[in-house]
Amino acid sequence: MSLFDDDFYSSRVSRRKSRWLQEDARQSKVLRSKSNWSTMRVAVLSSTISAAAAALIFGTLFYHGGGSSDKAVPTASAVTATQTADPYEKTITAAAKVRPMVVSVINEQYGVSGFDGSLDSDSGAMEDQLQQAGIGSGVIFEKEDGKALVVTNYHVIAGAERVQVAMIDGTSRVATIVGSDQITDLAVLQIDDDGIGEVAEFGDSSKLRNGEWVMAIGSPLGLDDSLTMGIISKTTRVIPVSLNQDGNYDWEQEVIQIDASINQGNSGGPLIDLDGHVVGINSMKIADLGVEGVGFAIPIDNAKPVIDSLIKYGVVKRPYLGVYTLDLDQYLAQQALTKPKDSLDSPQTGVDGSIVVPDSSNGGDAETSDAVIDDSGIIIPDDVKDGVIVLEAVGPAQEAGLQFNDLIVKLDKTPIGSTMELRKYLYDHKKIGDSIEITYYRDGEKQTAKLKLSEKSKDDD
């Protein structure tokens, strides 16, 4: 038995076929010779006809798009091009699209001193001469009315007396600082747009995926127009940052972690995807012995509103409380290092050196009799483990009555354990003009104050 029951698909000669051959024998020899085909020839002919019919039907449907007559058939050359395109060409195309818009940003200052703190006398540098203090990168993203705008990092232009922008063709021009923001580490510069053609296009960093290929363009170590490539190691990473570079973390930066090489001078340059869109601003790396391939970029979605604010106002407008603070845990750590080992067994002393004896006349109030009094006059209740100490109160805080050595423990109903938490609560949950309630301890007694948040001016920095 064949694989098919239907005689049409079988290679055997059926009874009907046998009868047809017997009847055909009565016909003339001429006709018989024309129709006396072998089984193989019949099979070949059937296969050819079937294939032609299938090709005709498929071609008709494909050409008309299943009934739609306005769709053209893709040519063979187009299909071949799609199938044989080199995927690595995308990196070359994307880089070529953005590289002309990437610039070197040169920070110039007066009397730049050497590593030992002395002036560089060998080069004849004088205190009244501008010298290169640092170099970073930037990218041109907007052009209008004869001016072009460049985004870079705040730390690239910090302290600059003059900023120079070096173009890819080797020419340079003086830049004006439109605005800068230390918190987000972003700055916007303005230059003349002479000779500048296209500008970089911002992408969508929210669509990035772990493992996606990206490229960093900039001037690492002063080597302009350098390109490095890697993948997205983590689309969202929160990194603690010391804004004043004093080793104390007072802000958290949301960044993209990448393994593309980031070196000194890459800061401020663009991180691009394989479509040539800017998806981040390269900002920092972990520079530690044995650490490689851990770099960070500011997501462009986070940078856009900051850039817009810098263009419009020159600053990022944020609510201002008006306190300079020290974290309680940092203060206690400092006290532990400076106090003698036997201080726990010695009586507590006040600011004037007199012995402080807990007052029992108040009925054993826990906030005073159980408080720790140190030699700076701060009284810290035993049940208070976190907070920030006011070093100076100005503006709204001063008007609300806050003083030196007040210990802030809450903003509204939210516990505050560090300067970072205080700043993030203000910037993430409050606006200029909002009211806020502050809970704090003064001389071991809990108090509250209410105030209205104002706008921080440049004079308040």
Tell me whether residue 155 is one of the annotated catalytic residues. Answer: yes
Give mean pLDDT, residues 212-224: 93
Token reading at 200: 């970089």
Residue 417, Cβ density class (10 Å: 0-12 exposed, 13-18 middle, ≥19 buried):
middle
Give the pLDDT score at 356.
39
- Indicate if 197 and 148 belong to the same structural domain: yes
- Indicate if 138 and 168 belong to the same structural domain: yes
Give the pLDDT score at 353.
36
- Range of 260's domain? 95-313
Tell me whether residue 192 is one of the annotated catalytic residues. Answer: no
Q: What is the pLDDT of residues 11-34, one digit of tens each?
A: 344 444 444 444 444 444 443 334
The residue type found at 86 is: D
- Indicate if 226 and 366 belong to the same structural domain: no
**In this structure, are strands 323-327 and 388-393 parallel, antiparallel, or unpaired?**
antiparallel
Mean pLDDT of the chain: 78
- Of 280, 295, 313, the residue at which a domain comes to its end is 313
Give the pLDDT score at 376.
62
Judge whether residue 290 has pLDDT over 50.
yes
- Indicate if 132 and 271 belong to the same structural domain: yes
Tell me whether residue 5 is one of the annotated catalytic residues. Answer: no
Question: Residue 154 belongs to a domain with what CATH number?
Answer: 2.40.10.120
- 452 belongs to a structural domain: yes
Give the pLDDT score at 46.
63
- Indicate if 119 and 255 belong to the same structural domain: yes
Judge whether residue 115 has pLDDT over 70.
no
Residue 127, Cβ density class (10 Å: 0-12 exposed, 13-18 middle, ≥19 buried):
exposed
Let me know: does 24 contact 16? Beta carbons within 8 Å.
no
Judge whether residue 208 has pLDDT over 80.
yes
- 423 belongs to a structural domain: yes
Threshold 0.85, pTM exceeds: no
Closest to 226 measured CA to CA, from 133, 141, 102, 106:
102
Exactly one of 104, 155, 309, 327 is catalytic; name it: 155
Judge whether residue 303 has pLDDT over 90.
yes
Instruction: Give how many domains the chain has, as a whole number.
Output: 2
Token reading at 198: 């296209």
Give the pLDDT score at 249.
82
Judge whether residue 422 has pLDDT over 50.
yes
Exactly one of 104, 137, 180, 185 is catalytic; name it: 185
Give the pLDDT score at 113.
56
- Phi and psi angles of residue 14, each rounded to the nearest 5 degrees, phi first: -80, 170
Exactly one of 267, 283, 309, 418 is catalytic; name it: 267
- Indicate if 99 and 224 belong to the same structural domain: yes
Judge whether residue 75 has pLDDT over 50.
no
- Indicate if 270 and 136 belong to the same structural domain: yes
Let me know: does 221 contact 265? Beta carbons within 8 Å.
yes
Residue 155, Cβ density class (10 Å: 0-12 exposed, 13-18 middle, ≥19 buried):
buried
Let me know: does 367 contact 446? Beta carbons within 8 Å.
yes
- Which residues are bridge partners to 151 per DSSP? 139, 188
